[in-house]
Structure 1
Amino acid sequence: MIETTDHQRLRQQVRDFADAEVAPRVADMETCATADTALPALIARQGWIGVTIPADYGGMAGGHFAKTIIIEELSRVSGTAGAIAQASQLGVAKILHFGTEEQKQRWLPPIASGDCLPTIAVTEEGSGGHVLGMRTTAARDGDHYVLNGRKQYVGNSHVGHVHGVVACTGGDGAKANRELSAFLVEADRPGVRLIPHQRTMGLRGFSFGDIVFEDVRVPATHRLGAEGDGLDVAYSSSILYGRPNLAAVALGILRAAVEETVSFSKQRHRYGRPLSQHPVIMHKIGALEQRLNTARTLVYQAVHRLDHGQPCDRELINSKYHAVEAAIDSTRDAVRIHGAAGLRTNRPVERLYRDAICTDAPAGTRDIQLYRLAEAALGVDRPQWSARFARSTALHPPTEDGTVLSA
């Protein structure tokens, strides 16, 4: 697939922003023990959180390829910036896929304008990728639901304005684990409490924390979809947004690792010539370039299919797996090529290595991705979320016979 002129213009716009506004903040984010609260607002005001939101709601209507470009270019300068952008774009998915027209009219315009940052809160201690093991409950009480529980590892937890919370609505016992529902919960609603920010190994400055819900009363009109749709909300958001988003973060980190290593190998001399002229180093750089090219192709092809409304669950899963693995392997090798210099914080590669590792767990670890790919190979019948929801954001939706009208 070929980038359009609009894509190229967007890429340059994001690159200029990242160089001018994000790069000067990186050092402070690395040393500060708190989440950066200014950068999320700055990114949101560019309108980029609304990249897949239709124009009718004030969004860019740019599609998933454009979303990938935004996240990739931010992540090339700072994995934290890319994580901030992708987390709230993930929060958009649940509203686009399951929101009523009234909910879309209320929430999508302020998200598109940068006045509202959404999140999605699914993961809990003891359940992780096993969504059905969650314990947070939402009990019906008249025209409200009462939420109780705790969510972990919520992207943009400390800066988000509305949380998409998935909870059990099926009563007590094992039955509750099969009946999940999703709700839009304002961050300032009584009973919503944040656990103090905990510093992470990488992606420093990114708010990736825990939220407690204690007798939080939420109007029934805030429910996304019907009772029992919560699992669908979680899975569709994760596959159609979470996995390509994390792949884009990893791709940006991978690009930075290759660029930094190539630059270093040309500047550093050994035995009277640059490292870049030593065959052993050339071989390692070749491996970095191969991983980058393969990851870029897989990621771009997957979101291209998504923009054309074509079934692509397997491609999205595969792109997340490969991009993350490539980023982890290549940043590790970049540190090795730098030698002892790569261990010091004045070189970006040690930060890139730590950031790359942090892209594995969100939206499913490598093992979960391989498990899903195995299911696809074995013919296990699973819903194709891309077939069900891709049309809501597709730039070139297919006709009834599956052909695409424009490309």
Structure 2
Amino acid sequence: MNVHADPAERHEALRQQVREFACAEIAPRIAEMEATGGVDHEVPALIAKQGWIAVTVGAEHGGMNAGHLAKTLVIEELSRVSGAMGAMAQASMLGAAKIIHFGSGEQQRTWLPRVADGSCLPTIAVTEPGSGGHVLGMASTARRRGREYVLTGRKVYVGNSHIGDLHGVVVRTGRGSKGLSAFLVEADRPGFSLAPHRPSMGLHGFSFGEITLDQCRIPASNLIGEHGDGLAVAYSSSVLYGRPNLTAVALGIHQAIMDETVRFVQERERYGGPLADLPTIRQRVGAMQSRLMAARTVAYDAVHRLDQGLPCDPELMNAKYVNVEAVLDTARTAMEIHAAAGLQKDRPLERLVRDAFHIYAPAGTGDIQLHRLAEEALGTSRGQWSQRLLPAPVA
């Protein structure tokens, strides 16, 4: 990407680069990923080698230093071809966030260049079987033993669980909200293990599984930030990366559903002409296009604000809510237009609809987003992570 070009030109060049890559390298592998339902290892490695996982990593560590709008474009274009691989990319970008914002100088010098060159896929592991989205309810623990910590517990729904090299794990080290701490756990540590991959409804090829920590020993230097920073690591990563990242996945899937529906109504003939000539079909396609345009505007505005160093937590929450609701509404409309043809596995729509439903829960369900937005409206919010961790504005 030409750093001297106009920002709009840089973004368009990046979009085209990712689109060409996705069509050439990912699209031909989708059928196999869908057929097996397993974890794909080859495509994530190819994506990582492009340097896109480090899109928000500083140039001093070999990253692109291109900002959150650029990150959105990368995820969107990958997701437009494969929601699974868009989810893969965003999960490791999310995994890098904790090191970018809370990592020590040594941790950043050690790991961020590896993220940039594609040799390390980081993750973040917060959710537990017994607590779900209630972060303070987690039961996994870390105990200090001399120069080490010993970690014990289970984490579920870990994005890139089966391909991740470095897991950012938040566990309990004390009581209350200050009793959570975050640690870097290498995947080859003794005491670290993975549960067998369980195929899900959609996002075939992506892994979001379970990891177990059984007396897993790590150096004390693997602590991220300060003792007791675990809640901040979890919440800030979710707000500043998780919500916009999932927004971008939803947006890419939304565009793919639109593309497929337009193709279908132009090719399928009824009553002596294409479906696209029927007024009822045109009304529905128009509604889909309106939702897509509105969702994209909300998404781009939120991450642009983040790039400009402006407080924007509500905008990021709203972007996730609007984009997920919009893609689910459009998925239903598309299925109504396709009718029985939309149920067939030989058409992309069946996969796209399944993939869309996977974006609802991560980084907060719609109910959670509305709850946080209500706090903002009522003046009871507790501050904004985008303000506490203001990035330098992106040129």
Q: TM-score, normalised by structure 2?
A: 0.97
Q: Measure, in 1, the Cα distance between the counterparts of 2:107 and 2:194.
A: 25
Matched-pair contact (CA < 8 Å) for 2:166–2:186: yes
Are the equivalent residues in 2 in contact too, given 1:133–1:177 (CA < 8 A)? no
Correspondence list, 1:124-203, <5 A: 124-170=128-174, 175=175, 178-203=178-203
Matched residue, 1:208: 208
Look up the match of 1:263: 263
Cα gap change, 1:345/1:3 in structure 2, threshold over 3 Å: closer, same or farther? farther
Map 1:212-251; keep pairs closer than 5 Å.
Answer: 212-251=212-251
Structure 1 residue 127, shift from structure 2 partner: 1.2
SS in 2 for 1:369: helix
The equivalent residue for 2:87 is 83
1:216 aligned counterpart, secondary structure: strand
- Asked whether the equivalents of residues 177 and 231 of structure 2 are also in contact (C-alpha less than 8 Å), the reply is no
Aligned counterparts of 1:80 and 1:106: Cα–Cα separation in 2: 28
CA–CA distance in 2 between the matches of 1:259 and 1:360? Answer: 22
Output the CA distance in 2 between the equivalents of 1:390 and 1:82. Answer: 26
- Residue aligning to 1:340: 340
Report what 1:402 is aligned to. Answer: none
The runs of 5 or more residues in structure 2 that have no matched partner are 1-5
- Unaligned 5+ segments in structure 1 are 397-407
Question: Residues 64 and 307 of structure 1 are in contact (CA less than 8 Å); yes or no, is this contact kept in structure 2?
Answer: yes
2:111 aligned residue (107, 116, 135): 107
Which residue of 1, 13, 22 corresponds with 1:18? 22
Aligned counterparts of 2:141 and 2:213: Cα–Cα separation in 1: 10
Give 1:391 deviation, angstroms.
1.5
Structure 1 match to 2:330: 330
What corresponds to 2:8 in structure 1? Answer: 4
SS at the partner of 1:390? coil
The match for 2:394 is 395
Q: Is 1:46 matched up with 2:45?
A: no
User: 1:390 & 1:259 partners in 2: Cα distance?
Assistant: 36
How far apart in 1 are the matches of 2:178 and 2:353?
38
Counterpart amino acid of residue 191 in structure 1: G
What displacement does 1:177 show?
6.0
Determine the C-alpha separation between the residues in 1 that align with 2:202 and 2:329.
16
Letter in 2 for 1:130: H
SS at match of 1:146: strand
Contact residue 53 and residue 116 of structure 2 kept, 8 A: yes
Q: 1:357-402: CA deviations, max 9, x gaps?
A: 000111111111111111111111313100111326x415xxxxxx
Is the contact made by 1:132 and 1:178 (CA closer than 8 Å) also made in structure 2? Answer: no
Q: Contact 2:313–2:384 (CA<8 Å) still a contact in 1?
A: yes
> Percentage identity across aligned positions?
61
After TM superposition, the runs of 4+ consecutive aligned structure 1 residues lying more than 6 A away are none
Supply the AA of the counterpart residue of 2:67.
G
Aligned residues: 390
- Pairs within 5 Å for 1:258-337: 258-337=258-337
Matched, 1:98 2:99: no
Whether contact under 8 Å (1:180, 1:228) holds in the other structure is: yes
For residue 31 of structure 1, report the CA deviation from its aligned partner: 1.1
Of residues 383-392 and 327-336 in structure 1, the stretch that sits farther from structure 2 once superposed is 383-392
Report SS of the residue matched to 1:211.
Answer: strand
Structure 1 residue 178 displacement after superposition:
4.7
Give the conservation status (yes or no) of the 8 Å contact 2:26–2:82: yes
Equivalent residue number for residue 121 of structure 2: 117
Change (3 A) 1:365 1:107: same
The whole-number CA distance in structure 1 between the counterparts of 2:365 and 2:7 is 30
2: CA distance, partners of 1:3 / 1:358 = 32
